[in-house]
Amino acid sequence: MGAKVAIVMGSQSDWPTMKRAEDVLSELGVEADVRIVS
């Protein structure tokens, strides 16, 4: 089983920034669970 992290944002407007983080994690083979919680 690979590593898994959570990317938690406060609003949809945070997504353009956090998408880059998800891309890097994906390149490293790390699965990310992305959530918007407000």
**pLDDT of the chain, 38 residues: tens digit per residue:** 566 899 999 999 999 999 999 999 999 999 999 999 98
CA 24/CA 17 separation, integer angstroms: 12
Model pTM?
Answer: 0.75
Number of separate domains in the chain: 1
CA 3/CA 8 separation, integer angstroms: 16
DSSP assignment string, 2-32: --EEEEEESSGGGHHHHHHHHHHHHHTT-EE
- List the domain range (segments joined by +) for residue 16: 5-36
